[in-house]
Structure 1
Amino acid sequence: MADIDAASLPVVVIGGGPVGLAAAAHLVGRGLEPLVLEAGSAAGAAVREWAHVKLFSTWGEVIDPAAEKLLAATGWTPPDREGYPTGGDWAESYLAPLASALGSRVRLSTTVTGVSRVGRDRVVDADRNEQPFAVHAVTGDGTELRLLARAVIDASGTWSRTGPVGGNGLPALGERAHASRIVYRVPDFRDPAVRSRYAGRRTAVVGSGASAFTALVALADLAGSEPGTHALWVVRRGVTSTTFGGGSADQLPARGALGGAARAAVEAGHADAVTGFRTAEVQADADGTLTLVSEDGTRTEPVDEVIALTGLRPDLSFLGELRLDLDERLQAPVGLAPLIDPNAHSCGTVYPHGAKELKHGEKDVYLVGMKSYGRAPTFLAMTGYEQVRSIAAALAGDHEAAERVELTLPETGVCGGSGLFDEPVEESSSSSGGSGCCGPATVTLEIAPPGLAGRTVGN
């Protein structure tokens, strides 16, 4: 491949969501040519799957500066910067116009199946970093592609891989058998068919992040018009006064309000919290209901449905021929992992970072956005925008700009769940907490009313 000028090749960006498209905008601003490969049929395909969920960041916090500059040249008018978009708003009013502005640099319905170095598998050392990348993909009509790239930025996210009901990271016994009664996303309660599914019934909500809060609040709202609607909130840890977030101290007010609304739903009796419960089995009862059974044999009350919101995970399968330096626990880059460890950090205490923290032994390959966080839930979209700004600068040779920090994050005392996306905190099976030697227990919370007004919002 000595006859190929790597500098003439594009930077392949995997994923046409918020961070992937922002990466393309920053690359264009640096005079580099991006090629965005999006598996979905439209920009922001994953975001569109939670179109009904409202973000708890404002428009001003979810529009990338380089993208806004690119859009301005097309005559695009930005939404009210103080308003809160839904996922659908974000996709239609920002991501779709941005993809259109990037034009042929974005290829839809193109799924990446593998990435390697040209002529080099994972084992080969010789001249490895001098070889361009070979990106294999398949289009919607089944056509196989082999594309060459000077660098690869993987912004494919974690939406495709959900965490299980099982408390040890694996599906619980019976979880697959009863899959028709379990959903792994926040249901769209605007849909009459969805409302009918949960109305007047008992639902177990497994998880303690922002998505779980959104589901609890929606079920509480449904209970107001449909008697008999009730939630069993299954939490792998204990419930404390900090479980529901930073409240009025949160610099993202809507995030604090969401936690307050979830707390109010529990205090009002619309949900019973079962703490320290790590599910080992999902059993069917004679009357058609389901019962969750914990590792120690404790059983929940029977439920009709289960909503599992236990986190998301990165798909690393198509990166197997690359030499990635990933933390063994979080599956995040080793330079980033200590900064985002959810045992020590919240969204507001993660230090802004860029190319330096995201680099691997494999030169010029980066995981960005939610995927860079692996299993950590503390991601904010504005963090992803800062990541790709730094990476674009590094690829352009502007190392001073790459190392410069151009982001100040909002603070909060507690951050449960991801900062923007409908991706909740994954409750680690090794986490401390729960009900101690007494085992799981249904608890009544005695917490002062949150005193937070405003709309119900999701992450």
Structure 2
Amino acid sequence: MPDAALPDRSLPVAVIGAGPIGLAAAAHLAARGLQPVVLEAGPGPGAAIRAWGHVRMFSPWRFNIDSAARALLAAGGWRAPDPEAYPTGAELLALYVEPLAEALAQSGTELRFGARVVGVSRRHHDRLHEGNRTAAPFVLHLAGADGDIDVLEARAVIDCSGTWTRPNPAGAHGLSAPGEAANADRISYGIPEVLGAARGAYAGATTLVLGGGHSAMNAVLDLVALAREEPGTRILWAFRRPLAAVNFGGGGADGLAARGALGAQARALVEAGQVEALAPFLIHRIARSGDGLLVQGDRGGRSEAVRADRIIVATGFRPDLSFLEEIRLALDPAVQATPALAPLIDPNLHSCGTVRPHGEAELRHPEEPGFYIAGMKAYGRAPTFLLATGHEQVRSIAAYLAGDVAAARRVELVLPETGVCTTQRPAPVVAPAVASACCAPAPAPSCCSPARTA
């Protein structure tokens, strides 16, 4: 896209979010001579990563470092970690995200922390108004800690805010189950630090884990490890599908060995009955029962109630579109990704976790020129995002905004295979009706990535 198509060359490109993808976007923009300003709601870079710092990712460092970010860091003497090592969230933050934010700041990029974006629009144009819309700069409203609203104008916007703040609820219908909010003190979302800070809450307790993805697998493995050390610890694992339809990953065929190993370990736990599998189990209501919870649901067409002390909801995340109400978006009605990207990642259409590289063209919205959603949020509700995919997205977007259409269209990424790119159903998994985790063998170190963040 020629520079002339952008509203005003003197205005910055606003990047929403100072996580790995937002900072990579800023590095690519700066490398092309554009002026990024990074807006982060948290008190520092990588705020969401701090919540899962205890989790080890299933992708090694060589897939987690962006090319423009690497060049900027290397210019300041930074030494890259072992490319084959698997970082925890805390290591990703300390060894890469925080140094990258510092390098960007030292090179002149403005980073605003504690600046939560609460609205994006066009100057003097709401969503309905036509006028000379494409020439109008973007207007962003930023809410500070004091509640005041600051206003920023930008020539383009790249929303890399992620999905961490909007976990999917436990309810069967995509809605919070009745009683879910009222019992929030006993419900965790994502991957709590079962073997660390949250140990006391889960030791000796019965925990119901909901979800069939890598986050749920990680939580189950940690709980099994806890059960070996804490008598009375019991794990229930609820799937929304029958076990015969659960995909535990590609095992040894997975291009990310740790991701394959994670699925294999989780599958073995179910097959050996070291956790009690509930499949299918759809939650309809959560109620307090003494010191615990009574979870009422549907078990293959019949009503069933399960008692648990705590619930871990590891069913993924969804995008927060509330502050984009005045932006003209094109979103697939199911996946909530752009119509060009959705068919590539829709789990209703295929089981393949490997998505061909894509960029500016697939991520473009009707709010042209200059508005994009990138990173995990670009995937909407699909669960197959990798950091390397986000790096390719923002590389392409930055090239296009700088007028280098050829570079924007060029593919510069090769993704690892998942080992599950098939139309065949996975083999049935059979588990005993009743099982205990008290004598479960120790699992290998957790190696998954929280909520698709690897």
Question: Could you say what secondary structure the match of 1:106 adopts?
Answer: strand
Report % sequence identity.
52
Aligned counterpart, 1:389: 395
State whether residues 54 and 90 of structure 2, in contact with CA within 8 Å, keep that contact through their aligned partners in structure 1.
Answer: yes
1:291 paired residue among 291, 294, 305:
294
Give the aligned residue type for 2:385: F
Distance change >3 Å, CA 300–CA 217, structure 1 → 2: farther
Aligned equivalents of 1:5, 1:391: Cα separation in 2: 16
Aligned counterpart, 2:327: 322
State whether residues 314 and 371 of structure 1, in contact with CA within 8 Å, keep that contact through their aligned partners in structure 2.
Answer: yes
Aligned equivalents of 1:372, 1:261: Cα separation in 2: 30
Aligned equivalents of 1:349, 1:62: Cα separation in 2: 16
Give the aligned residue type for 1:49: A
Residue 155 in structure 1 maps to residue 160 in structure 2: yes
Aligned counterpart, 2:440: none
2:171 paired residue among 166, 171, 194:
166
Superposition pairs of residues 76-155 of structure 1, within 5 angstroms: 76-103=78-105, 104-155=109-160
Aligned counterpart, 2:383: 377
1:143 deviation in Å?
A: 3.8
Question: Could you say what secondary structure the match of 2:41 adopts?
Answer: coil
Aligned equivalents of 2:444, 2:269: Cα separation in 1: 15
Aligned counterpart, 1:191: 196
Residue 414 in structure 1 maps to residue 420 in structure 2: yes
Aligned counterpart, 1:221: 225
The Cα offsets for residues 260-319 of structure 1, whole Å up to 9 and x where unpaired, read as: 22223334433111112111111333x433222224552243211111111101000100
Aligned equivalents of 1:106, 1:356: Cα separation in 2: 27
State whether residues 7 and 155 of structure 2, in contact with CA within 8 Å, keep that contact through their aligned partners in structure 1.
Answer: no
Aligned counterpart, 2:438: none
Give the aligned residue type for 2:295: L
Aligned equivalents of 1:405, 1:77: Cα separation in 2: 27
Give the aligned residue type for 2:395: R
Aligned equivalents of 1:315, 1:5: Cα separation in 2: 26
Give the aligned residue type for 2:58: F
1:400 deviation in Å?
A: 0.8
CA RMSD of aligned residues (A): 2.3
1:175 paired residue among 169, 175, 180:
180
State whether residues 243 and 279 of structure 2, in contact with CA within 8 Å, keep that contact through their aligned partners in structure 1.
Answer: yes
Residue 342 in structure 1 maps to residue 344 in structure 2: no
Aligned equivalents of 2:99, 2:148: Cα separation in 1: 27
State whether residues 44 and 95 of structure 1, in contact with CA within 8 Å, keep that contact through their aligned partners in structure 2.
Answer: yes
1:442 deviation in Å?
A: 7.0
Moved more, 37-46 or 406-415: 406-415
Residue 211 in structure 1 maps to residue 215 in structure 2: yes
List gaps (5 residues or longer) in structure 2: 1-5, 436-442, 450-454
State whether residues 346 and 412 of structure 1, in contact with CA within 8 Å, keep that contact through their aligned partners in structure 2.
Answer: no
State whether residues 348 and 410 of structure 1, in contact with CA within 8 Å, keep that contact through their aligned partners in structure 2.
Answer: no
Aligned counterpart, 2:445: 455
State whether residues 346 and 414 of structure 1, in contact with CA within 8 Å, keep that contact through their aligned partners in structure 2.
Answer: yes
Moved more, 235-244 or 77-86: 235-244
Aligned counterpart, 2:235: 231
Aligned equivalents of 1:25, 1:357: Cα separation in 2: 21
Aligned equivalents of 2:254, 2:240: Cα separation in 1: 24
State whether residues 166 and 279 of structure 1, in contact with CA within 8 Å, keep that contact through their aligned partners in structure 2.
Answer: yes
State whether residues 345 and 353 of structure 2, in contact with CA within 8 Å, keep that contact through their aligned partners in structure 1.
Answer: no
Aligned counterpart, 1:265: 269
The Cα offsets for residues 318-355 of structure 1, whole Å up to 9 and x where unpaired, read as: 00001011111111111111111112345643111000
State whether residues 255 and 419 of structure 2, in contact with CA within 8 Å, keep that contact through their aligned partners in structure 1.
Answer: no
Give the aligned residue type for 1:10: P
1:28 deviation in Å?
A: 0.9
Aligned equivalents of 1:207, 1:158: Cα separation in 2: 17
Give the aligned residue type for 2:66: D
List gaps (5 residues or longer) in structure 1: 416-431, 436-440, 446-452
Aligned equivalents of 1:442, 1:268: Cα separation in 2: 8
Aligned counterpart, 2:364: 359
Distance change >3 Å, CA 5–CA 290, structure 1 → 2: closer
**TM-score, normalised to structure 1's length?**
0.88
State whether residues 204 and 305 of structure 1, in contact with CA within 8 Å, keep that contact through their aligned partners in structure 2.
Answer: yes
Give the aligned residue type for 1:7: R
Moved more, 176-185 or 62-71: 176-185
